[in-house]
Amino acid sequence: MLAYAARRLMLLPISLFLVALVTFVVLRLTGNPVDIFLDVTSTPEQVAALTEKLHLDEPIPIQFLIFLRDLAQGDFGVSLQFNEPALSTVFQRLGGTLQLAGTGLLIAIVVGVILGLVCAVWRDRFADLAISSVAVAGQSMPSFWLGILLIQLFALKLGWLPTSGAGGWRHMILPAVTLATFLLPNIILITRASVLEMSGEQFVIAARAKGLSRLRVLLTHVLPVSLNPLLSFLGIQIGTLMGGSIITETIFAWPGVGRLMLTSISNRDVPVVEAGVLVIAVGIVLTNLAVDLLQMLIDPRIRRH
Amino acid sequence: MADDIATSHPSRVVALAEAATDARALLSVRDLTVEFQTGQGRFEAVHRVGFDVAKGQVLGVVGESGSGKSVTALALMRLLPDHAARISGGRIVFDGSDIVPMREAEMCRIRGRRIGMIFQDPTTSLNPIFTIGHQLREGLRVHLGLGRAAANRRAEELLNLVRLPSARAALDKYPHELSGGMRQRVMIAMALACEPQLLIADEPTTALDVTTQAQILELLRDLQQQMGMAIMLITHDLGVVAEFADAVQVMYAGRIVERAPVSRLFANPAHPYTQGLLYSMPALEEEDPPVLPAIPGMVASPFAMPMGCPFHPRCALASDVCRAAVPPLNPIAHAHSAACWHVDAMMAA
């Protein structure tokens, strides 16, 4: 299993190279950053100096090579907005994002798995019909809209929670719940389907025949086997979670990578965008590796290779 | 007049007496009816079935797929799929108490402890993500309250008991690392973990290859003699029954159609269906067996159960009475009963 993890980590640079290539090309397709950072009164000398500093006077392939060389040294250049190294700008905000995304993911998994189990156990009864239909409706509800509604109710009307910004745990509740709703409906529905499917397996009846109680069989036999489809889903959806972070952080003015990315894109802060995209890409690759390793840990049949 | 009926139809009196459960029997089933509710409608998969299993007895239950034999077994364990099936009538008296009205918590103390069960397919009957040892220890810890170390020792003993090679190493193996025959040995070890009084074996050899089948049957027979438990052996293979069972009952379309001691059933089958089953068995001594006679037609669909005897559409002897009324299971000789209107003609032939 460790050897497998090591092999997968060796593929990481290839993923990162591809991400770097795409980021590089897309950013250069969207316009010249010099025009944004220098106002109309700037002299041609200033323009030339900045152009040279960003290596924008070189041919595109050379620019890419320079970009890769700097990348290898962890040097993304200096943020045009903050005038500090782009990578450290991103790292400063990474903690906030991990905190928010981690809490949101935890809420989504815990609540989603419990509700999914409830649906499966009371299949076609009231609880199942109620939860499933809310989940299906939730799949089609834009989460940013929910976020705004939550702010209106809990922050403005009731005044229980702060509207935005970061501080104590009370600041965390609304954004984390909003972010959780990006994944929650699917987690409920996948858990429900997976648990129902596994409940029909022969080994479930065999476990009951040993004299284990219904609840014990559900929690110790059915649930663990049902987790793998859920983990696959989470691995695929980690990108959705990142996208959700950008939206949520923006709505709640949460100081994280997501909001930083959004402002950096509108300000054409190329170094920060490049650093941010690569950090997110590393995060996604590592998350998927973690998902694969977890699945191997759960199901020994996947370990054979 | 009453005397008259009793003498001319001794069977009726016995049939009435039979409705009471047998206190000496380990398992005494009376009028067991299991009803299924499906999208296509309601039907009875098992209809008023009654039988006894004595302590230490091996009862073979034979029938085609859909005859209700597996449903009967699941009903005895109270493991019918609860959204689709229910016991709609009858009694299942096990060791003196009726388990039909029992609460689930009480059932949990009977399952695996006093009644063990093994299944047709050992591959799907083991949870793929847990080791053999883990799955063996579960029952031991729940029923006997053994600690981890004690449960582990007992698990190893059990694997030795079912003659699994290198038992200790097997404890840490996963089901997919064992062969089909080895998995079935593990299932048997699990079912026998708490030394149950009754073992229900639902087609224990069907999913295995022929040599493995013989080994598993031999193992079951040895263990039965060693531990003295009763076995209800469900199979569609009369050969298995001939080798192993003391008594046999034949099921068709949710009813018992014939019951007899094994030697008697093979020598004097009374029901046309039993005869059909026996004639469609290949004889081992024949080098180049002729084309085997098959019973014509198909098992009656539970949704379109024929009027009268459920077997009559496939029966050469079918007459008007067969099409009109279901024949009762009547004694025709000592310990031998059959449900056929033409039993006398059959036996005379």
Question: DSSP characters for B238-270?
Answer: HHHHHHH-SEEEEEETTEEEEEEEHHHHHHS--
Among A201, A211, A298, beta carbon nearest to B111: A211
Mean pLDDT, to the nearest integer, of B162-190? 91
pLDDT at residue A116 in the model: 95
pLDDT at residue A39 in the model: 67
A75 in contact with B at a CB cutoff of 8 Å?
no
Mean pLDDT, to the nearest integer, of B59-66? 89
Nearest 10 degrees: CA dihedral of B119, B120, B124, B129?
40
Among B121, B124, B143, beta carbon nearest to A211: B143
- Strands of the sheet containing B27-38, edge to edge, are B41-53, B27-38, B85-94, B97-98
Task: State how far residue B9 is from chain A, nearest Cα, in angstroms.
Answer: 43
pLDDT tens readout for residues A45-88:
878 887 777 777 788 888 888 888 888 887 888 887 888 898 88
Residue B246 has pLDDT above 90, yes or no: yes
Contact B104 A213 (CB under 8 A): yes
B124 contacts on A by Cβ (under 8 Å):
201-203
Interface test with A, best of B102, B106, B111, B127 (most A CBs within 10 A): B127
ipTM of predicted complex: 0.85
Mean pLDDT, to the nearest integer, of B272-287? 76
A205 in contact with B at a CB cutoff of 8 Å?
yes
Write out the two tokens for B184: 């079935």
A127 in contact with B at a CB cutoff of 8 Å?
no
Compute the distance between CA of residue B73 and CA of residue A206 in angstroms, rounded to an integer. 13
Contact A270, A80 (CB under 8 A): yes
Mean pLDDT, to the nearest integer, of A161-182? 80
Mean pLDDT, to the nearest integer, of B201-221? 87
> Chain A 16-55, CB below 8 Å of chain B: which residues?
none
Q: Name the pairing type of β-strands B41-53 and B27-38.
A: antiparallel
Write out the two tokens for B103: 């609460």
Mean pLDDT, to the nearest integer, of A224-242? 89
Compute the distance between CA of residue A8 and CA of residue B215 in angstroms, rounded to an integer. 45
Residue B12 has pLDDT above 60, yes or no: no
A224 in contact with B at a CB cutoff of 8 Å?
yes
Q: What percent of chain A has pLDDT over 90?
A: 24
Mean pLDDT, to the nearest integer, of B77-87? 90
Residue B2 has pLDDT above 90, yes or no: no
pLDDT at residue B244 in the model: 87
Which amino acid, residue A216?
Answer: R
Q: For residue B296, count CB atoms less than 10 angstroms from its CB and return exposed for 0-12, middle for 13-18, buried for 19 or more.
A: exposed
pLDDT tens readout for residues A78-115:
887 888 898 888 998 898 889 889 999 999 999 999 99
Residue located via tokens 């310990």 = B335
Mean pLDDT, to the nearest integer, of A132-139? 87
Q: Confidence band (pLDDT; 50, 70, 90) for B3?
A: very low
Q: Confidence band (pLDDT; 50, 70, 90) for B10?
A: very low
**DSSP code of residue B313:** G
pLDDT at residue B287 in the model: 58
Interface test with A, best of B119, B137, B138, B142 (most A CBs within 10 A): B138
Which amino acid, residue B317?
Answer: L
Among A201, A202, A208, beta carbon nearest to B111: A208
Compute the distance between CA of residue B325 and CA of residue B49 in angstroms, rounded to an integer. 17
Identify the CA nearest to B118 among candidates B183, B163, B177.
Answer: B183
Cβ contacts of A119-128, under 8 Å, gap ≥ 24: A119/A188, A119/A191, A119/A192, A120/A191, A120/A192, A120/A195, A120/A196, A120/A199, A121/A218, A123/A196, A123/B83, A124/B83, A128/A192
Among A209, A214, A300, beta carbon nearest to B77: A209
A298 contacts on B by Cβ (under 8 Å):
129
Q: For residue A32, count CB atoms less than 10 angstroms from its CB and return exposed for 0-12, middle for 13-18, buried for 19 or more.
A: middle
Contact B124 A214 (CB under 8 A): no
Closest residue in chain A to residue B125, using alpha carbons only: A203
- Strands of the sheet containing B247-252, edge to edge, are B115-118, B198-202, B230-235, B58-62, B247-252, B255-261, B336-338, B330-333
Q: What is the mean pLDDT of chain B?
A: 86
